[in-house]
Amino acid sequence: MSKQERATRTRNALILSAAELFERYGYVRASLDEISSGARVSRGALHFHFENKAAVADAVEQAAARTLRATAQAIPLGQSSAIQSLMDLSHRMVHLLHHDVVVRAGFRLNCDTGPRTPLDLRQEWQACVRRLVTRAADERALAAGVCPDGLVATVVATTVGLEVLSRANRGWLSTSSLTTFWQLLLPSVASPPTLPTLQPGGTPTP
Protein backbone atom coordinates (compact mmCIF):
# COMPACT_ATOMS: atom_id res chain seq x y z
CA MET A 1 0.00 0.00 0.00
CA SER A 2 1.36 3.41 -0.98
CA LYS A 3 1.85 6.28 1.44
CA GLN A 4 -1.00 8.16 -0.22
CA GLU A 5 -3.34 5.18 0.11
CA ARG A 6 -2.48 4.83 3.81
CA ALA A 7 -3.15 8.54 4.33
CA THR A 8 -6.52 8.29 2.58
CA ARG A 9 -7.45 5.24 4.65
CA THR A 10 -6.49 7.03 7.87
CA ARG A 11 -8.44 10.14 6.94
CA ASN A 12 -11.55 8.09 6.08
CA ALA A 13 -11.23 6.17 9.36
CA LEU A 14 -11.09 9.45 11.27
CA ILE A 15 -14.17 10.77 9.47
CA LEU A 16 -16.10 7.58 10.26
CA SER A 17 -15.01 7.61 13.91
CA ALA A 18 -15.94 11.28 14.22
CA ALA A 19 -19.34 10.70 12.62
CA GLU A 20 -20.14 7.92 15.09
CA LEU A 21 -19.15 10.09 18.05
CA PHE A 22 -20.87 13.25 16.79
CA GLU A 23 -24.06 11.26 16.31
CA ARG A 24 -23.81 9.61 19.72
CA TYR A 25 -22.71 12.55 21.85
CA GLY A 26 -23.12 15.69 19.73
CA TYR A 27 -20.41 18.06 18.57
CA VAL A 28 -19.56 19.60 21.93
CA ARG A 29 -19.13 16.37 23.93
CA ALA A 30 -17.16 14.44 21.29
CA SER A 31 -13.42 14.73 21.93
CA LEU A 32 -10.43 14.53 19.61
CA ASP A 33 -8.93 11.82 21.82
CA GLU A 34 -12.04 9.68 21.35
CA ILE A 35 -12.06 10.35 17.61
CA SER A 36 -8.43 9.29 17.18
CA SER A 37 -8.94 6.28 19.45
CA GLY A 38 -12.00 5.19 17.48
CA ALA A 39 -9.97 5.35 14.28
CA ARG A 40 -7.10 3.47 15.98
CA VAL A 41 -4.59 6.19 15.21
CA SER A 42 -2.56 8.59 17.35
CA ARG A 43 -3.61 12.12 18.21
CA GLY A 44 -0.67 13.26 16.09
CA ALA A 45 -2.03 11.38 13.08
CA LEU A 46 -5.35 13.13 13.58
CA HIS A 47 -3.68 16.55 13.60
CA PHE A 48 -1.77 15.64 10.45
CA HIS A 49 -5.12 15.55 8.67
CA PHE A 50 -7.23 18.03 10.67
CA GLU A 51 -6.27 21.21 12.49
CA ASN A 52 -9.01 20.99 15.11
CA LYS A 53 -12.43 19.51 15.89
CA ALA A 54 -14.21 22.03 13.67
CA ALA A 55 -12.12 20.83 10.72
CA VAL A 56 -13.09 17.23 11.47
CA ALA A 57 -16.77 18.20 11.62
CA ASP A 58 -16.46 20.06 8.31
CA ALA A 59 -14.97 16.92 6.75
CA VAL A 60 -17.91 14.84 7.99
CA GLU A 61 -20.36 17.34 6.50
CA GLN A 62 -18.49 17.46 3.19
CA ALA A 63 -18.46 13.66 3.01
CA ALA A 64 -22.21 13.61 3.66
CA ALA A 65 -22.72 16.20 0.92
CA ARG A 66 -20.71 14.14 -1.58
CA THR A 67 -22.80 11.07 -0.83
CA LEU A 68 -26.02 13.05 -1.20
CA ARG A 69 -24.93 14.47 -4.56
CA ALA A 70 -23.82 11.07 -5.84
CA THR A 71 -27.15 9.57 -4.81
CA ALA A 72 -29.07 12.30 -6.63
CA GLN A 73 -26.93 11.91 -9.75
CA ALA A 74 -27.48 8.15 -9.76
CA ILE A 75 -31.23 8.55 -10.33
CA PRO A 76 -31.70 7.84 -14.07
CA LEU A 77 -33.55 10.75 -15.62
CA GLY A 78 -35.82 10.15 -18.59
CA GLN A 79 -36.48 6.49 -17.79
CA SER A 80 -39.52 7.28 -15.64
CA SER A 81 -41.70 10.24 -14.79
CA ALA A 82 -40.17 12.99 -12.70
CA ILE A 83 -42.58 12.23 -9.86
CA GLN A 84 -41.41 8.61 -9.80
CA SER A 85 -37.80 9.79 -9.87
CA LEU A 86 -38.59 12.08 -6.93
CA MET A 87 -40.09 9.21 -4.95
CA ASP A 88 -37.16 6.96 -5.80
CA LEU A 89 -34.71 9.65 -4.67
CA SER A 90 -36.61 10.21 -1.43
CA HIS A 91 -36.46 6.49 -0.67
CA ARG A 92 -32.72 6.44 -1.35
CA MET A 93 -32.29 9.48 0.87
CA VAL A 94 -34.13 7.83 3.75
CA HIS A 95 -32.13 4.63 3.20
CA LEU A 96 -28.92 6.65 3.45
CA LEU A 97 -30.03 8.34 6.64
CA HIS A 98 -30.91 4.94 8.10
CA HIS A 99 -27.74 3.09 7.15
CA ASP A 100 -24.97 5.69 6.66
CA VAL A 101 -23.72 7.19 9.92
CA VAL A 102 -21.64 9.81 8.07
CA VAL A 103 -24.73 11.14 6.29
CA ARG A 104 -26.73 11.16 9.54
CA ALA A 105 -23.97 12.90 11.45
CA GLY A 106 -23.39 15.34 8.60
CA PHE A 107 -27.02 16.45 8.65
CA ARG A 108 -27.05 16.72 12.44
CA LEU A 109 -23.84 18.75 12.53
CA ASN A 110 -24.83 20.97 9.65
CA CYS A 111 -28.21 21.78 11.12
CA ASP A 112 -27.49 21.84 14.86
CA THR A 113 -24.09 23.46 15.32
CA GLY A 114 -24.64 26.67 13.38
CA PRO A 115 -23.02 27.86 10.15
CA ARG A 116 -19.27 27.18 10.10
CA THR A 117 -19.06 26.93 6.32
CA PRO A 118 -21.28 27.93 3.38
CA LEU A 119 -22.40 24.28 3.10
CA ASP A 120 -26.10 23.75 3.83
CA LEU A 121 -27.18 20.13 3.43
CA ARG A 122 -30.89 20.86 3.77
CA GLN A 123 -30.68 23.48 1.05
CA GLU A 124 -28.82 21.02 -1.16
CA TRP A 125 -31.54 18.45 -0.58
CA GLN A 126 -34.19 21.08 -1.29
CA ALA A 127 -32.45 21.92 -4.58
CA CYS A 128 -32.53 18.22 -5.58
CA VAL A 129 -36.26 18.05 -4.84
CA ARG A 130 -36.94 21.31 -6.66
CA ARG A 131 -35.24 20.12 -9.85
CA LEU A 132 -37.47 17.07 -10.03
CA VAL A 133 -40.65 18.94 -9.12
CA THR A 134 -39.87 21.51 -11.83
CA ARG A 135 -39.42 18.69 -14.34
CA ALA A 136 -42.69 17.11 -13.21
CA ALA A 137 -44.46 20.42 -13.87
CA ASP A 138 -42.86 20.59 -17.33
CA GLU A 139 -44.10 17.05 -18.00
CA ARG A 140 -47.62 18.09 -16.94
CA ALA A 141 -47.48 15.31 -14.38
CA LEU A 142 -48.79 17.49 -11.56
CA ALA A 143 -52.50 17.78 -10.86
CA ALA A 144 -54.24 21.01 -11.79
CA GLY A 145 -53.73 23.72 -9.22
CA VAL A 146 -50.75 22.11 -7.50
CA CYS A 147 -48.20 24.72 -6.45
CA PRO A 148 -44.67 23.42 -7.21
CA ASP A 149 -43.18 25.44 -4.35
CA GLY A 150 -45.72 23.95 -1.97
CA LEU A 151 -44.90 20.43 -3.11
CA VAL A 152 -41.17 21.06 -2.66
CA ALA A 153 -41.76 22.37 0.84
CA THR A 154 -43.94 19.39 1.74
CA VAL A 155 -41.43 16.80 0.54
CA VAL A 156 -38.45 18.52 2.15
CA ALA A 157 -40.25 19.09 5.45
CA THR A 158 -41.35 15.46 5.60
CA THR A 159 -37.99 13.88 4.76
CA VAL A 160 -36.03 16.24 7.01
CA GLY A 161 -38.63 15.70 9.72
CA LEU A 162 -38.12 11.93 9.51
CA GLU A 163 -34.38 12.51 10.04
CA VAL A 164 -35.04 14.57 13.18
CA LEU A 165 -37.57 12.07 14.57
CA SER A 166 -35.18 9.19 13.90
CA ARG A 167 -32.71 10.52 16.45
CA ALA A 168 -34.97 9.10 19.17
CA ASN A 169 -36.40 6.20 17.15
CA ARG A 170 -34.64 4.90 14.03
CA GLY A 171 -37.92 3.26 12.99
CA TRP A 172 -39.03 6.56 11.48
CA LEU A 173 -36.46 6.00 8.73
CA SER A 174 -38.30 3.08 7.22
CA THR A 175 -39.57 2.31 3.76
CA SER A 176 -43.09 1.93 5.16
CA SER A 177 -43.09 5.42 6.74
CA LEU A 178 -42.13 7.07 3.48
CA THR A 179 -44.39 4.85 1.38
CA THR A 180 -47.37 5.81 3.54
CA PHE A 181 -46.51 9.48 3.08
CA TRP A 182 -46.47 9.12 -0.71
CA GLN A 183 -49.67 7.06 -0.73
CA LEU A 184 -51.44 9.89 1.08
CA LEU A 185 -49.88 12.68 -0.99
CA LEU A 186 -49.99 11.34 -4.55
CA PRO A 187 -53.77 11.50 -5.14
CA SER A 188 -53.58 15.23 -4.39
CA VAL A 189 -50.51 16.13 -6.47
CA ALA A 190 -50.25 13.73 -9.43
CA SER A 191 -52.25 14.26 -12.60
CA PRO A 192 -54.95 11.61 -13.30
CA PRO A 193 -53.04 10.06 -16.23
CA THR A 194 -49.81 9.89 -14.20
CA LEU A 195 -51.20 8.54 -10.92
CA PRO A 196 -51.79 4.89 -11.98
CA THR A 197 -48.20 4.59 -13.23
CA LEU A 198 -46.57 5.54 -9.92
CA GLN A 199 -45.10 3.23 -7.29
CA PRO A 200 -45.13 4.96 -3.88
CA GLY A 201 -42.75 2.37 -2.48
CA GLY A 202 -40.15 3.27 -5.05
CA THR A 203 -39.03 1.54 -8.23
CA PRO A 204 -37.72 -1.96 -7.45
CA THR A 205 -33.97 -2.29 -7.85
CA PRO A 206 -33.12 -4.66 -10.72
Quick: pLDDT tens for 42-98. Answer: 999 999 999 999 999 999 999 999 999 999 888 876 668 999 999 999 999 999 999
pTM for this entry: 0.88
Q: Which are the contacts of 115, defined by CB distance < 8 A and separation ≥ 6? A: none
Report d(CA 10, CA 7) in Å as an integer: 5
pLDDT for 33 beyond 60 = yes
Q: Which helix (H) or strand (E) holds 101?
A: helix 101-112
| Amino acid at the residue 159 | T
Domain 61-197: which CATH number of 1.10.357.10, 3.40.50.1970, 3.40.1190.20, 3.40.50.300: 1.10.357.10
pLDDT tens-digit readout, 125-178: 999 999 999 999 999 999 999 999 999 999 999 999 998 898 888 889 899 999
Q: Cα 165 to the chain's mean position, in Å?
A: 14
